[in-house]
Chains A and B, each alone.
Chain A
Amino acid sequence: GNSVTQMEGPVTLSEEAFLTINCTYTATGYPSLFWYVQYPGEGLQLLLKATKADDKGSNKGFEATYRKETTSFHLEKGSVQVSDSAVYFCALSKEGGRRALTFGSGTRLQVQP
């Protein structure tokens, strides 16, 4: 079946540091890939997505590239801010299938001033 593996957190960074959160997946066919973000006390919000190999999703300074050869979708940001502190979830959705999203376990990011 489909699965998503994320690096464990928490990840603690200083403001303006470079961020990488690793995500790898297992799926048959060609899933769509997503990063969702959950701010404290809130629901999940879509951060970015990519629907085919070599696509790059980007939003709010975050980027992730769909790498089919390494089955990865790592999240990066060049300069994090305190306001980026949240839990980040990698997820996949099998295009054309009836399944809903399959999520990774989430990575908590803490950015210190």
Chain B
Amino acid sequence: DADVTQTPRNRITKTGKRIMLECSQTKGHDRMYWYRQDPGLGLRLIYYSFDVKDINKGEISDGYSVSRQAQAKFSLSLESAIPNQTALYFCATSDRVIAGGSTDTQYFGPGTRLTVL
């Protein structure tokens, strides 16, 4: 089974609808992230969470909200979807940085392709 799963994998919705994208992980990591990918722009950080009570905005958080329901679950919501939120959304996890050690690797889910009409 995959370590990081995302549901749904594909979603088409209409402008103004509320959408929730879900992410679950079995890696036991504390840190979880939401990114969006747009052609030619790479991945950009939306929100990140270092534990259940520590949630932070990324560089493009406007129009999005998140919920960290448990260590293993991190959901992304679009309260009122708009067409320029059409993108590929990725969830990722990482373990905490070891003091004096190197930054750990991020592990990505398979992505959710969202289309807002």
Chain B positions within 8 Å of A61 at CB level: none
A77 in the interface, Cβ–Cβ < 8 Å? no
B84 in the interface, Cβ–Cβ < 8 Å? no
A89 in the interface, Cβ–Cβ < 8 Å? yes
Residue of B42, B48, B107 touching A103 (CB-CB under 8 A): B42
Residue of B42, B43, B108 touching A45 (CB-CB under 8 A): B108
CA distance A34 to B92 in the complex (A): 15
Within 8 A of B (CB), among A26-48: 32, 34, 36, 42-46
Shortest beta-carbon distance from B96 to chain A in Å: 11
Residue interface bits A85-99, CB-to-B below 8 A is 1, else 0: 000010001111011
CA distance A52 to B103 in the complex (A): 11
Do A46 and B106 have beta carbons less than 8 Å apart? yes
Do B108 and A89 have beta carbons less than 8 Å apart? no
Do B42 and A89 have beta carbons less than 8 Å apart? yes
B60 in the interface, Cβ–Cβ < 8 Å? no
Do A100 and B45 have beta carbons less than 8 Å apart? yes
Given A44-B90, A100-B45, A105-B42: A95 in contact with B102 (beta carbons within 8 A): yes
Do A103 and B43 have beta carbons less than 8 Å apart? yes
Chain A positions within 8 Å of B45 at CB level: 99-101
Do B102 and A105 have beta carbons less than 8 Å apart? no
Shortest beta-carbon distance from B49 to chain A in Å: 10
Given contacts A34-B105, A52-B102, A101-B43, 5 further A-B pairs with CB under 8 A are A4-B42, A43-B109, A98-B50, A101-B33, A105-B41
Chain A residues proximal to chain B, CB less than 8 Å: 4, 32, 34, 36, 42-46, 49, 51-52, 89, 93-96, 98-101, 103-106
Chain B residues proximal to chain A, CB less than 8 Å: 4, 33, 35, 40-45, 48, 50, 56, 58, 90, 92, 97, 102-103, 105-111
A-B contact list, 21 entries, CB within 8 Å: A43-B109, A43-B110, A43-B111, A44-B43, A45-B108, A46-B106, A46-B107, A51-B102, A94-B103, A95-B102, A95-B103, A98-B50, A98-B56, A100-B58, A100-B92, A101-B92, A101-B106, A103-B44, A104-B42, A105-B40, A105-B41
